[in-house]
A and B are shown apart, each in its own frame.
Chain A
Amino acid sequence: MTPHKCPMKFALLVAALAQTMPSVVFAAKEDADTVTASVCEDCPDPSGRSGWVDVGIGIQNDDSYHFGRYTGRQDQGVNVELNAEASYRGSLDGAYINGQIDNLGLDSRRIELEGGRQGKYQVAVEIDQLPNYRADLPRASLETERQREGVKFSMTPGTVWKFSGHYRHEEKDGTRDVGSVFGFNNPEILAVPVNFQTDDFGVAADYQAERLQARLAYSGSLFNNERQAIDWNNSGVGPATGQIAESPDNQMHQLSAQLGFQLTPLTRLGATYARGRMTQDQAFLPFSTGITPALPADDLDGRVDTTLARITINSRPQPRLRLDGSYTYSDRDNSTPVNSYTYLLTDSAVSPGARLNRPYGFEQNLLRLKAGYRLVNGADLSGGYDRDKMERSYQQAEETDDQTLWAKLKIRPTEGLETTFKVSHADRDASTYDPTAYQSPESPLIKAFEMADRTRDKIGIDIAFNARDNIGLGFDINYYKDKYTNMVLGLTRASGITATPTVTYSLNDKVTATAFYTYERLESDQAGQEWDNLTPVASDWFASDTNQTHTVGLNLTWKASDKLDVGADLVHADFSGKIAYATGGDLPELTSRLTALGVHGIYKAKENMSYRVGYRYELYRESDWANVDPGTVTSLGIAPERQEVHLIYLTVRYAFN
């Protein structure tokens, strides 16, 4: 048979062959050892501009500080909804600009602009606002807002070096609550203005070669408080005015170097060294009353030098075995001068004796060793040893020594099922504890838990199961128990359990649902002893604290049609806190409950236009025994125990390219 005599048959034969043997055809083309110049005619061209703008309104039926806390949606009424994205990319030179606007009509607005020439340089600027609506009280609204403006740049002269830098200015303004007192009588909660400024900046040089990578960086932070003091008038017996020191201005500077070296293809060394300095030398406030004891200095001249040194080594001597080790030295050398201060007791009377200030310092030596071995059928066994030695100055325990052993086993008993078991035991020795050290006024029987003998046991199980391609199941449970041995007064025991089952289900390629439930229970026991003038006046007391939270979450997405997408999400968190006393009454239950529901739909009217409509509901309730009866405290009032809000929003999105 020849083509020109039987063209139809030949065509049929070729067509049939072409269906069944495409790989043979490809194999005939790709014989070269190297990639020749690719034109990529079928690749999409990303150059040009693209983006979208979302404009609309949101209507909220009621005020809610809880709903608006970080979102800016605290007020009843109508809000402008405005979000946008835009980008431009050049076709040949790597030039690009990306812009993003989030929530322009709300106090949580953010604007970011980034551009440059990829592979050469990049500049980004950002304006970001973060509101924090804490509580709307009858006598004051406790709210603060952070506004940040920042710029970042990077330059890449070649492929080995990269230079970068950043600067960010933040202003935090608003109102916070501060407790105040004269003597032991009638404390008053003050509504105090907040005017903080923080400037962060830094530069870095990164070097990347095949075996050696390095980074040298400097970072600095300046904190400025526009207010030096909180002054208020005394409405009761005692001095006419009181004065509390505001947070002082301070600075932090740090120089750091980081190195990574691939010693062999299987072994890598790492090293980090950083030196920092924190300083604070704000002038002491003068005493606000007629009594003015002499001060040993005009300011603290505070200085803390920090050091971080770490070396790491990790190796895979054979494909199944991995070995990691690290040693870290971290030091906080507080060289703030120590002086003797005669002071006033709440602006009223001179202290009976002078006190020396304590510039707390810490030195940590941390060793971590771990090994892992890949067993058959995808199973993996790993384990490790940590040793954490902490030395403290001016505290009751000069040294604590914490040792931890842990093990983890991961198995895959069947396809799609992975289970991990984790267990660890830690033992802390604090035998250097001296309760009489540093003129402590504390009971000789109490120990600060961080410096006390302790055993900590942890166990955890993590299960991930892909039942089918469209069903994923997970279960994660973790439990820990701390026992403070040799503890007479103070924290004697703490434990916690957290368990989270999750499920992800795809009905088809149009419907997906995910759900989770988390149970958390945190418990602790503590012992105390009432005493006065070195003589116990009542029997020991024991308290047990139990915090229990149930959290449920559900998320659903549905592609109803080519033009319509629908989504819904629901969360419910239910907390109960109980503090029980072995002798004496239990405290009333603390509760907080959050229920939040969201539903939205996106309708694609045209190729470049879509309508979005959504509804959000939130109900927050709490009960707190501390708010029920303020006693002799002059407070700012009690926050609403129930906050409920409905929000409807409608926006139009126009896309362009």
Chain B
Amino acid sequence: MFMKIAAQRAALLAVILGMALIAPTLAAEKKAETKEQQSSWVRMMLDEQEAAVEKLKQAPFSRKGVDTCVSCHDAENEYPVFPIFKTKHAVKADPRSPFGHDNKQCESCHGAGGDHTKAKKADKRAGNIINFGTKAWTPVKDQNEKCLTCHQTHQRIDWKGSSHAFNEIACASCHSVHTAKDPVMERQSQSKVCFGCHANEQAKFLQASHHPVRQGKMGCTDCHDVHGESGGGMLVKATAREKCTACHAEKRGPFLWDHAPAAEDCNQCHTPHGSNQPALLKKRVPQLCQECHSPAGHPSVSYNGSRLAGNAFMGVKSCLNCHSAVHGSNHPSGVTQLR
């Protein structure tokens, strides 16, 4: 009898000890899987991703919404999510907000989480909820559809025809929803987000003549429509001239004596991000002007180094020493922009 009870107790103890030993290993694997599982889902073929998204559309919602979510995704979780409660997304009084009355809270954006919470293994769990970001398994168009459910308005009406959308840029590539402040929405930090992909432009703003972007007084979206395609070069206005003269209105005109390139497109002479020439010009004056002008007399002269000494056509502002109204003149005598 004793031996039978002892054997039973020994077996039970072995089970308990075995589980106690396995648990930390499983926990470690859980952490490893948390990183590994994401890349394995990313490696999924597109067809598998599409199938997983379709399956998610049939999934049930969790029973208690955010109460369910925060029981795992708490303040100590590897992926901090709590800062969202400081943002507009978590305002209950706003019926448009995910946390507004009758809305699905976390599952408004991440999709129905019933299967996510039922999944026994961490890798299955990750594949049963919509992930956001450049490294997420969820196809970009499906990520973006969630955001567009609420945000396909204002300049984002044209998102689906835009360059960023065509190049499969996810909203979450630029936007941070689970942070108290979204860096791309702040003028002072916005450009750093854009430079993550547009690295060449960062150096332009360090050149001698530049718009005040790196000083935090302008953001990329002051000129560019990043969610649409209003004008060429993804500008917020239909033409570059319309955008430039919104701030430089003194050059808008129309003038009595317009300067043709200034009336058409500022980019014919200027390079707006940065230049090592004065006033964001592409090239030095007089060589810039001589790309289009060669009438008889001084405009056609070769202004090379041998003619530099004491030459009023080259020193100081060169052509603009006299032709100061280069953007256009409203003076009856301003035919050649001298007045």
Contacts and interface: CB of A to CB of B under 8 A. Distances in A.
B316 A247 contact: no
Given A179-B324, A247-B250, A270-B157, A635 B316 contact: yes
A556 to B, nearest CB: 15
A498 B217 contact: no
Interface in A171-186: 177-181, 184, 186
Interface in B51-110: 60-68, 70-71, 74-75, 82, 85-86, 88, 90-97, 100, 104-105, 107
Interface of B: 12, 15-16, 19-20, 22-23, 26-27, 35, 39, 43, 45-47, 50, 60-68, 70-71, 74-75, 82, 85-86, 88, 90-97, 100, 104-105, 107, 114, 117-121, 125, 139, 141, 152-154, 157-158, 160-161, 165-166, 168, 188, 199-200, 202-203, 206-208, 212, 215-217, 229-230, 232, 238-239, 242, 245-247, 249-258, 260-261, 263-265, 268, 276-277, 282-284, 287, 290-298, 300-302, 304-312, 314-318, 320-325, 329-335, 338-339
A309 B190 CA distance: 31
Nearest to B212: A70
B82 A633 contact: no
A200 B246 contact: yes
A549 B276 contact: yes
> Sorted from nearest, which 5 A-B pairs have the closest CB atoms?
A585-B305, A94-B93, A119-B94, A584-B304, A245-B331
B96 A119 contact: yes
A20 B283 contact: no
Contacts of A245: 325, 329-331, 334, 339
A247 B256 CA distance: 11
Nearest to B121: A23
A38 B199 contact: no
Interface in A361-394: 362, 366, 370, 372, 374, 376-378, 380, 382, 392, 394
Interface in A288-335: 295, 300, 302-304, 306, 308, 312-314, 316, 319-320, 322, 324, 326, 330, 332, 334
A181 B321 contact: yes
Given A181-B322, A244-B324, A531 B296 contact: yes
A513 to B, nearest CB: 15
Given A46-B85, A528-B290, A330 B311 contact: no
A271 B145 CA distance: 20
Interface in A257-297: 258-260, 268, 270, 272, 274, 276, 278, 280, 282, 284-285, 287, 295
A481 to B, nearest CB: 16
A40 B166 contact: no
A345 B336 CA distance: 10
A285 B331 contact: yes
Given A32-B63, A319-B46, A345-B333, A553 B202 contact: yes
A31 interface: yes
Contacts of A208: 152-153
Contacts of A543: 287, 302, 304
19 contacts: A9-B12, A16-B16, A44-B85, A71-B215, A130-B212, A181-B321, A244-B324, A270-B160, A284-B332, A322-B166, A447-B292, A469-B35, A491-B291, A531-B300, A543-B287, A573-B206, A579-B287, A581-B302, A628-B315
B148 to A, nearest CB: 10
Contacts of A75: none
Given A32-B60, A119-B100, A221-B246, A179 B153 contact: no
B297 A532 contact: yes
A237 to B, nearest CB: 15
A93 interface: yes
Contacts of A77: none
B294 A446 contact: yes
A308 B231 CA distance: 10
Centre residue among A69, A92, A184, A360 by max chain B CB count within 10 A: A360
Given A343-B332, A532-B297, A585-B306, A551 B85 contact: no
Contact of B93 (A118, A162, A366, A632): A118
A549 B212 CA distance: 19
B161 A380 contact: no
Interface in A487-513: 489-491, 498, 500, 502
Contacts of B305: 581, 584-588
A627 interface: yes
A586 B96 contact: no
Contact of A526 (B250, B287, B330): B287
Interface stretch (A426-434, A533-541, A605-613, A648-656): A533-541
A198 interface: yes
A450 B261 contact: yes
Contact of A43 (B70, B168, B250): B70
Contacts of B96: 119, 156, 159
A282 B330 contact: yes
A441 B64 contact: no
A258 B105 CA distance: 31
A62 interface: no
Contact of A16 (B19, B27, B291): B19
Contacts of A71: 215
A603 interface: no
A519 B154 CA distance: 38
A592 B276 contact: yes
Contacts of A531: 294, 296, 300
Given A287-B333, A584-B307, A395 B260 contact: yes
Given A92-B92, A187-B321, A346-B333, 18 more contacts: A40-B70, A43-B85, A94-B92, A108-B215, A118-B94, A119-B96, A130-B217, A184-B298, A189-B316, A248-B253, A252-B245, A284-B330, A330-B239, A357-B256, A359-B258, A450-B268, A547-B276, A577-B284
A626 B94 contact: no
A305 B263 CA distance: 13
Interface string A137-164: 0000000000000000000100100100
Contacts of A178: 324
A244 B63 contact: no
A164 to B, nearest CB: 9
A344 interface: yes
Contacts of A562: none
A189 B321 contact: yes
A70 B296 contact: no
Given A181-B321, A319-B46, A594-B206, A526 B316 contact: no
Nearest to B285: A626
A34 B61 contact: yes
A213 B329 contact: no
A543 B324 CA distance: 25
A26 B118 contact: yes
